[in-house]
Amino acid sequence: MNKYNFILVFLAFSVFLPGQETTLRLSLKDAVETGVKNRYDLQAADYNLDIANNDISRAKKEWLPDVSASGNVHINTQLQKMFIPAGFAGLEDPMLVGLGAYNVSVFGVDVSQPIYNKNIRTDMAIAQNNLELEREKKREAENNIRERIEQSYLNVLLRDLQYRIAQNNEQRYKAYFELAETKFRQGALIENDYLKARLDLDNAAVETQKVKQNYELSLTNLKYQINVAPETELILTDSLESIDLATDVVPVEAGIANRSEIRQLSIMEEGNRLKALHARQLSLPTLSAFGNFSEQFTYNGLNFFQSEWWSSFSYVGVRLRVPITARTQNRLLESDFTIRTVQTGLNLKQRTADISYQIRNAATELDNARQNMETTRNNYELSQTIYKNQQVQYDLGALQYNHLLDTEKALSAAEQNYIQAVYQFLLAEIGYRKAAGVF
């Protein structure tokens, strides 16, 4: 086989080779960091920061001199005639005379330098304000994504536990069925109890299938939240009971100050104030210096290489600009932003009240969830003890199957309640951290 045939075989094999699945081992912290890094919306938000930084640079450069070059090639197809009165240069009669050259071309450099313009400094302040606003918007978006990833991660852990519990329940019902089947064949169990044990096993298998589907859906959602390929295999290294979000209760005032919504409204209020100031300063006079240096070619032909027909001229000056008719429009613009400042201030007060309630309510929910978790843990431990005792009695024939089944259901309910309580406690921690702005 020559080298070309080998390459063709290798390429054909590569086409039909199935893609290898990637395996990721993720703690809760790893999942959040992976999602924040992979999310395209957060990457897009970085460009908003770049644009805002460019606006600041552009505002700073308004103080730099404006230098421009220009060229004007002017061809007179017909010279403009001037009136020459009688007696001028010995003329007896007045007459019209065309004076000038057919080619009058000017090439020059203009320079303009601001000296006094209050709005340039205000423009820089507005650009800096916009940058701070974009930063807060990104922080809010990042916190929302962190919250969704943490919730999705916890949901996978909950569904995984429920799936394992369902599998264990199915195995227990299978053991009960096998024991009931043996007793039925020996004549020690009536047919109805035997059929009931078989029905319980079938129902347990159906429940296991449903819980498995929920678990797979939760995994799919987590992959979406952290933006990894659907074929990626995820191995979660944390468990519901091992996760410690280390949530510290903060004063309400500190929580309000931490919230991105409050910061955004404060920044917007300052931005409207700056824009009102900018509108007011548009009515102020501006002062700038200007200068020009030019080379002029004056001749009846187009041969620009004839140096004797070139001449230079230059000038400098100061320009004062005083707005007059624009003052009315500027006052309306200033009034608009003044109204917006008051409006934003009222929204800020209301949002402060809303967040104050959210923080207090989230703290109460967190405390309730902690109490419920402790209560359900005690109930689960008690139900385990009762179940073990009755299982021994059933094996010895001292307890009927329906009584053991009732205890089995009570144990399963207690276990589910405890797992759900742990899950709700962790969700309450996430909710409190979001309310207090401590993500």
The yes-or-no verdict on residue 401 having pLDDT over 80 is: no
Tens-place pLDDT, residues 261-298? 999 999 999 999 999 999 999 889 999 999 999 999 99
Q: What gap in Å lies between CA 306 and CA 296, rounded to an integer? A: 12
Complete edge-to-edge strand list for the sheet that includes strand 66-75: 66-75, 103-116, 286-299, 310-321
Tens-place pLDDT, residues 255-268? 999 999 999 999 99
Question: Of the segments 323-327, 376-380, 393-397, which one has the largest average pLDDT value?
Answer: 376-380
Give buried/exposed letters for 7-43 (b at 16+ CB in 10 A, else e): eeeeeeeeeeeeeeeeeeebebebbbebbeeebeebe
DSSP structure string for 166-181: HHHHHHHHHHHHHHHH
The yes-or-no verdict on residue 2 having pLDDT over 60 is: no
**Entry field: residues in the chain:** 439
- pLDDT for 25 equals 94
Contacts of 164 (CB under 8 A, 6+ apart): none
Tens-place pLDDT, residues 230-258? 999 999 999 888 887 767 788 899 999 99
- pLDDT for 394 equals 66
The yes-or-no verdict on residue 15 having pLDDT over 70 is: no
The yes-or-no verdict on residue 345 having pLDDT over 80 is: yes
For residues 320-345, give the mean pLDDT. 90
**397 pLDDT tier (thresholds 50, 70, 90):** low
Tens-place pLDDT, residues 105-127? 999 999 999 999 999 999 999 99
For residues 121-138, give the mean pLDDT. 96
Say which residue, 97 or 214, is predicted with more confidence: 214
The yes-or-no verdict on residue 10 having pLDDT over 60 is: no
Q: What gap in Å lies between CA 49 and CA 389, rounded to an integer? A: 65
- pLDDT for 211 equals 93
- pLDDT for 400 equals 67
For residues 116-140, give the mean pLDDT. 95
Query: What is the percentage of the chain residues whose pLDDT exceeds 90?
Result: 56
Query: What is the percentage of the chain residues whose pLDDT exceeds 70?
Result: 92
> Comparing C-alpha atoms, which of 425, 438, 241 is closest to residue 355?
438
For residues 411-425, give the mean pLDDT. 86
> Comparing C-alpha atoms, which of 362, 344, 348, 336 is closest to residue 427?
362
Q: What gap in Å lies between CA 240 and CA 424, rounded to an integer? A: 10
For residues 350-360, give the mean pLDDT. 95
Q: What gap in Å lies between CA 59 and CA 123, rounded to an integer? A: 6
- pLDDT for 247 equals 73
What's the whole-model pTM score? 0.78
Say which residue, 251 or 399, is predicted with more confidence: 251
7-16, 141-150, 257-266, 328-337: segment of lowest average pLDDT:
7-16
